[in-house]
Structure 1
Amino acid sequence: MSCLCKYHDELISTRRHLHTMPEEGWSEFTTTAYIVEKLRKLGYEVLMGKKVINPDNCLGRSQKVVDAGLAYARKNGVSEALLKEMDGLTGCVGVMDTGRPGPTLAIRFDIDCVPVTESTDADHIPAKEGFCSTRPGLMHACGHDAHTSTGLAVAHWFADHKDEMKGKLKILFQPAEEGVRGAAGMAASGIVDDADYFLGAHIAMMCKTGELSVKPYGFLCTTKLDVTYTGRPAHAGVEPNAGRNAMAAACNAFVQLLGIARHGSGMTRINVGQLIAGEGRNVIPSHALMKMEVRGETGDINQYMYDAAVAIIKGCAISQGCEYKIEKMGEAVDLTNDEELVDVLTKAGEAVEGMTVRKDPMNFGGSEDATILARRVQAHGGKAALFVIGANRPSGHHTSKFDIDEKALDQGLAVWTNAVKEILG
């Protein structure tokens, strides 16, 4: 097979283009259109809308955000015909069938950004070299621009080498990974139910440029929750006794949630990231919104954290005479890689010059909703694995100065193409 050098410029230019136009989860209509057009030019069958996302299983999807994404897409010249095909749902799947008997491989790349304002400091390479985010408050601060660029380069490579392959390739471009919201709807569509193999990857994290983690652990199960307290307003001076203080319920819950006893059998996490409450200085607060999450090393431990949180939320509502509502906004599960695919990834990495394969378990230390797709494949009898492609970074994920060493893009593409070749070649 030919050298991967021909895809280098495409990898870099695509990543940098996407970096300038970040879109938050469920609003990625412009990004989806960009991907669709490239896939169609390469000869892929492209599936969109309800064919790849079950709207009944979408988590944390705000119509306000969707509408803003549609407006941004129209501003960017995305055609009404293409928006109609998307049917209000972002993300897509490119399918290429070689026409020769063989397995079906599904590979997944996420496409959304993070609600962070990007640095414009002179030492920040995207600012220095002119590919900073053009959208204040939104930034590709977790590497999903690199993921999408890599997915499109893999698509190009596979189309070029289709005649040397067997079976079928499905390339999933998943929306709304941030907040672990998008995979549930994609999995529920059934798009991976026929997959014999599933692979997904993340760039950077705990690995440096030149490292490949084939056995990461610590994909924490998580449940993201929006908690709403509803009380009763009253004049804070004349008749405070007539009020029911929603802010007090939320504040009490906030403090108590952080005090949940940690589980002895594995890692746990809990965070309240936002609390919005009250109407005015002299009004007993009648509304409070708390955005929070729990995490656990296993499903059982995460359930322990969830159950404890619900008990506190309910108790604090009762203590203040308030009503409460809990909405699930996102979720992810844990995953153990199938050894067959660990071997495939090890071989794929060892064939890349300058790549060190880390076979020792490395702690991912976060949540990733590709696990939901992976577990769906495993539940239907297939094999699945997630891996990490190392990349040096000057700042942490989800920070304003996050960036990646672009050398990692070439190494990552080599690992991906080697793995695809091993399974479908």
Structure 2
Amino acid sequence: MTDIITQMVADRRHLHQHPEEGWCEFQTTHFVVERLKALGFEVLLGTDVILPEAVMGRDPAKVEKAMEDARAAGVPESFLEATGGYTGALGVWKTGRPGPVTALRFDIDCLAIEETSDPAHIPNAEGFRSKVPGMSHACGHDGHTAVGLGAAAWVAAHAEELTGTVKLIFQPAEEGVRGAAAMAARGIVDDVDWFAGAHIGCSAKLHEVGVSHHGYLATTKFDLDITGVPCAAGSPENGKSALMCGAALCMSLGSLPGHSQGITRVQIGKFVSGTGRNIVAEHTSMLLEVRGESTEINDYMAAGVERTVAGLCAAYGCTYSLRRVGEAVTYKGDEEAVELVKDAARAVPTVTSVVDMNAKVGSEDCTMLIRRVQAHGGKAVFFYFGCEHHGHHKPDFDIQDTASLRDGWGVFTGFLARTNGRKA
């Protein structure tokens, strides 16, 4: 066990230095695949695990640049060709003995956040800070990936004690809730009997495990491009201002009515428009999202966005392109799976507290895989394993890897022992 934990920390620190954002994780995927193959897993990748028609929020130019960076870093061309331009991987271990199919999910992408230069920040103090300008693992997915590889090592070491099939899902593009939908649509969890996903940190403190019965807001992410007619500001009758149209949309979308049955959210995170003081703007681009306490409430909010955009663009004489670029649903765990995780967590020597954690904030696209598992008769659960942090998605986020990773690994492997362990 000590060797696996030591390797997990080393893996996390390697991955921390080489962060890659969603749909661009070619070096990370290669790192994962090479390890899985060395351990004896069957490995699927590319369009075997991603349905291209269901992909959201993938920028072809960024993907091509990421592939060039991967080549420069020594990733073989044969591997890049095998991905078909899609990141992520699935490791499959078949024991050859009758038993359930159990899947564990680990997300692998980073955030476009510059890591802090504070010398007290552990990655700076111990020499493993991000080497990629403007990118960092500010949400702990490097730790998730390392725990997934640790779980793979445990499966290989305990293969004779297991039954059925184990699937380890290394999912791209969780940030922006973009990657899970395409994996779910490919059908990789349609045969799964038991499923577990997790996140490090959030509200869980170090050595605390929080198990969710329900939670998360459903969400839809939109990219909006508005096109008007440019002209000189002195002759405004000759133009159609995409900027004024966008400004009106900001005010109107921010005033969308909520819903009596639950929480709603509308957020406009980015607005770009205009080229000069005396030019009627031709283009506006906006990044926005809605959320709802239920999938139905979220759909209500998304319909409000679509209706408002159509109406105001028509009123201002502009054309538009509104694209859905991310999606997640709400979560409700299965009590049998919840209890298995609680039991597994209580058995981890370093875990000091096991609590219920059912926050109705944020969104998580693991819910897309969970919903797919449940739709096909499987049982699923989501949990948190703690760390001490100053907030996710911040430049100084860190996870105390030498202490926190073993807790998550212990819960995941304990869950596997309970679902797929050979009975005496």
Deviation, structure 1 residue 361: 4.2
Deviation, structure 1 residue 360: 3.1
**Structure 1 residue identity aligned to 2:268:** V
**Structure 2 residue identity aligned to 1:211:** E
Conserved? CA contact 2:102–2:195, under 8 Å: yes
Residue 103 of structure 1 corresponds to 100
Residue 20 of structure 1 corresponds to 17
SS in 1 for 2:223: strand
**Correspondence 1:24-43 to 2 at 5 A:** 24-43=21-40
Distance of 2:215 and 2:248 partners within structure 1: 31
1:398 is aligned, of 373, 393, 397, to: 393
Residue 227 of structure 2 corresponds to 230
Residue 331 of structure 2 corresponds to 335
**Structure 2 residue identity aligned to 1:401:** D
CA RMSD of aligned residues (A): 1.1
SS in 1 for 2:280: coil
Deviation, structure 1 residue 6: 2.2
Distance of 1:199 and 1:65 partners within structure 2: 31
Deviation, structure 1 residue 108: 0.5
Distance of 1:402 and 1:417 partners within structure 2: 26
Residue 305 of structure 1 corresponds to 301
Deviation, structure 1 residue 123: 1.6
| 1:368-406 alpha-carbon deviations (Å, 9 max, x no partner) | 10100010011111111111111111x211110011122
Note if 1:255 corresponds to 2:232.
Answer: no
**Correspondence 1:11-410 to 2 at 5 A:** 11-215=8-212, 217-237=214-234, 239-363=235-359, 365-393=361-389, 395-406=390-401, 407-410=403-406
| 1:204-262 alpha-carbon deviations (Å, 9 max, x no partner) | 0011012111125331100000111111111111x211100111111111122112222
| 1:251-274 alpha-carbon deviations (Å, 9 max, x no partner) | 111122112222222221111111
**Structure 2 residue identity aligned to 1:173:** F
SS in 2 for 1:365: coil
Deviation, structure 1 residue 33: 0.4
Distance of 1:355 and 1:172 partners within structure 2: 25
Deviation, structure 1 residue 362: 2.9
Are residues 297 and 104 of structure 1, via their aligned partners in 2, closer, same or farther at CA, if it must alter by over 3 Å?
same
Deviation, structure 1 residue 311: 2.3
Distance of 2:314 and 2:155 partners within structure 1: 59
Distance of 2:158 and 2:214 partners within structure 1: 33
Conserved? CA contact 2:215–2:332, under 8 Å: no
Deviation, structure 1 residue 93: 0.4
Distance of 1:244 and 1:386 partners within structure 2: 49
| 1:284-307 alpha-carbon deviations (Å, 9 max, x no partner) | 111111100000110111112112
**Structure 1 residue identity aligned to 2:135:** L
Worse-matched range after superposition: 310-319 or 226-235: 310-319
Conserved? CA contact 1:116–1:138, under 8 Å: yes
Distance of 1:343 and 1:357 partners within structure 2: 15
**Structure 2 residue identity aligned to 1:281:** R
Conserved? CA contact 2:213–2:381, under 8 Å: no
Conserved? CA contact 1:216–1:364, under 8 Å: no
Conserved? CA contact 1:199–1:386, under 8 Å: yes
| 1:140-175 alpha-carbon deviations (Å, 9 max, x no partner) | 000000000000000001001001100000100000
Conserved? CA contact 1:216–1:388, under 8 Å: no
Distance of 2:76 and 2:123 partners within structure 1: 29
Distance of 1:220 and 1:369 partners within structure 2: 10
**Structure 1 residue identity aligned to 2:415:** A
The TM-score with structure 2 as length reference comes to 0.97
Conserved? CA contact 1:349–1:356, under 8 Å: no
Worse-matched range after superposition: 94-103 or 358-367: 358-367
Q: Matched residue pairs, number?
A: 420
**Structure 1 residue identity aligned to 2:18:** M
Distance of 1:363 and 1:418 partners within structure 2: 24
SS in 1 for 2:332: coil
SS in 2 for 1:222: strand
Distance of 2:59 and 2:74 partners within structure 1: 23
Are residues 105 and 72 of structure 1, via their aligned partners in 2, closer, same or farther at CA, if it must alter by over 3 Å?
same
**Structure 2 residue identity aligned to 1:253:** L
**Structure 2 residue identity aligned to 1:400:** P
Deviation, structure 1 residue 279: 2.6
